[in-house]
């Protein structure tokens, strides 16, 4: 999905890098963005961490762990004619 199409050349952009742990223990990494601000990328990391939080089956409470974690990366845009 395109975001911030009108951003300037050499603009700083951010992306969310999210590591998912599948129930069988395998992992995969996905990237979301780019975003024009760091807050939007951080929000995506938080969303997935909270969405895939581990729940104690007996109490129904969160255990403090999650099947997702991540970080934010910063980059610049380099436009060229396609």
pLDDT 10s digits, 18-30: 999 998 999 999 9
> What's the pTM value of the predicted model, to 2 decimals?
0.81
What confidence category does residue 50 fall into, taking pLDDT thresholds of 50, 70 and 90? very high
Residue 35, token pair as written in the block: 């975003």
Residue at 72 is within a domain? yes
If one counts the domains in the chain, the total is: 1
Burial 6-22 (b: 16+ CB within 10 A, else e): eeeeeeebbbbbbebee
- CA 14 vs CA 19, 61, 72: distances in Å: 16, 33, 7
Residue at 7 is within a domain? no
Residue at 32 is within a domain? yes
Residue at 51 is within a domain? yes
Domain of residue 50 covers 12-76
Residue at 81 is within a domain? no
Residue at 18 is within a domain? yes
Residue at 30 is within a domain? yes
CB-based contact 9:79 (threshold 8 Å): yes
Residue at 3 is within a domain? no
Give the separation between CA 5 and CA 33, rounded to whole angstroms. 12
């Amino acid at each position: 999905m395109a975001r911030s199409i009108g951003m300037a050349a050499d603009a700083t952009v951010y992306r969310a890098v999210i590591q998912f742990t599948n129930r069988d223990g395998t992992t995969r990494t996905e990237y979301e963005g780019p975003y024009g601000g760091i807050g939007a990328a951080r929000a995506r990391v938080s969303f997935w961490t909270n969405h895939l939080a581990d729940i104690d089956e007996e109490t129904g409470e969160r255990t403090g762990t999650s099947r997702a974690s991540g970080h934010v990366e910063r980059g610049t845009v380099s436009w060229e004619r396609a």
